[in-house]
């Protein structure tokens, strides 16, 4: 089974738990998700199966959109509603105008400090395990990109944000940092991922729907082809004579017109429409090197 399920992840289950259920349902050994959602978060979780797992990195690196409800007045150690309150403040004087002004500092290319309760590792140990043991370590800030950040609803002390961001952005950290900027503390109350790359929440299917589909043998209705992930890449058609070299990972010299500036990655198809893999174009040599081989 090669393809992607656009899963509507419910609250109360980990992203790995979703993968485990689909591995059991499909019998497919190679199953992986594209971008972890916290257990309490909901929304779009693309799950790749079979050969599509080789393309996960292209989905992980794409932009994602979230709807976040942030509660002002209390900061927590996890930066969300599941944590222990570490700071309380009075948000009654905070206005919509102040929130809008504070959001300006979080747009564009920023540096963000990950929360202690995260899967990032320190000296080989996940931070969340250190945090549960009562330990806190310094976390270097990391560059992230916030493409769009809008206040869509303001019902004090709750602020609803729509966020479009790049890889590695922690919405929990954004909620915490916003509370610090406003001086009253804040935490992430609820989070829904509404889009991951080309996958939107409107077309996402529940685990219950997928279980029913598998039991009735119609799971293919919800399975997106692997190249759904890479539709933004230009296309290279590979002659049958060049297929063995691609399969072996050897560089190819293809007679293809390349626009300037050239795209770094191209999706490679056989003449009969089969997806063969992804090629990395080297402008200096004019060669095409297989980055991902799917055959």
Cβ-contact 177, 106 below 8 angstroms: yes
Nearest Cα to Cα of residue 7 among 198, 200, 204: 204
- Rounded to whole angstroms, the Cα distance separating 201 from 215 reads 24
Please indicate whether residue 40 is annotated as part of the active site: no
Quick count: other Cβ atoms within 10 Å of Cβ 252?
Answer: 19
Phi (first) and psi of residue 65, to 5 degrees: -120, 135
Nearest Cα to Cα of residue 277 among 246, 252, 254, 256: 246
Cβ-contact 18, 47 below 8 angstroms: yes
Cβ-contact 249, 293 below 8 angstroms: yes
Residues 6+ apart with CB under 8 A from 143: 109, 110, 111, 112
Cβ-contact 117, 189 below 8 angstroms: no
Nearest Cα to Cα of residue 228 among 52, 57, 29, 64: 52
Taking the CA atoms of the chain, what radius of gyration do you get in angstroms? 22
Out of 38, 77, 177, 242, pick the active-site residue: 38
Q: What kind and span of H or E run contains 177?
A: helix 171-182
Q: Which residues does the annotation mark as catalytic?
A: 38
């Amino acid at each position: 089974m090669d393809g992607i399920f656009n899963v509507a992840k419910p609250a109360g289950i980990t992203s790995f738990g979703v993968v485990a259920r689909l591995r059991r349902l499909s019998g497919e050994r190679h199953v992986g998700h594209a971008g972890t959602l916290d257990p309490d978060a909901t929304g779009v979780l693309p799950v790749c199966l079979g050969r599509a797992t080789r393309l996960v990195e292209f989905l992980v690196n794409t932009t994602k959109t979230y709807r976040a409800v942030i509660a002002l007045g209390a900061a927590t150690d996890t930066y969300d509603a599941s944590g222990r309150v570490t700071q309380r403040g009075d948000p009654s004087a905070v206005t919509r105008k102040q929130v809008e002004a504070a959001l300006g500092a979080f747009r564009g290319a920023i540096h963000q400090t990950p929360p202690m309760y995260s899967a990032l590792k320190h000296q080989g140990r996940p931070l969340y395990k250190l945090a549960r043991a009562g330990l806190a370590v310094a976390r270097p800030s990391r560059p992230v990109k916030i493409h769009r950040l809008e206040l869509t609803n303001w019902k004090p002390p709750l602020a609803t944000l729509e966020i479009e961001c790049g890889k590695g952005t922690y919405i929990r950290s954004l909620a915490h940092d916003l509370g610090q900027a406003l001086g009253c503390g804040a935490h992430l109350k609820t989070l829904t991922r509404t889009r991951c790359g080309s996958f939107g929440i409107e077309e996402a299917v529940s685990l219950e729907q997928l279980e029913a589909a598998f039991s009735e043998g119609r799971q293919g209705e919800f399975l997106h082809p692997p190249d759904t992930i890479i539709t933004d890449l230009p296309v290279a058609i590979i002659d049958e004579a060049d297929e063995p070299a691609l399969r072996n990972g050897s560089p190819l010299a293809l007679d293809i017109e390349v626009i300037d500036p050239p795209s770094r990655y191209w999706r490679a198809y056989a003449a009969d429409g089969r997806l063969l893999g992804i090629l990395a174009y080297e402008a200096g040599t004019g060669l095409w090197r297989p980055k991902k081989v799917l055959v």
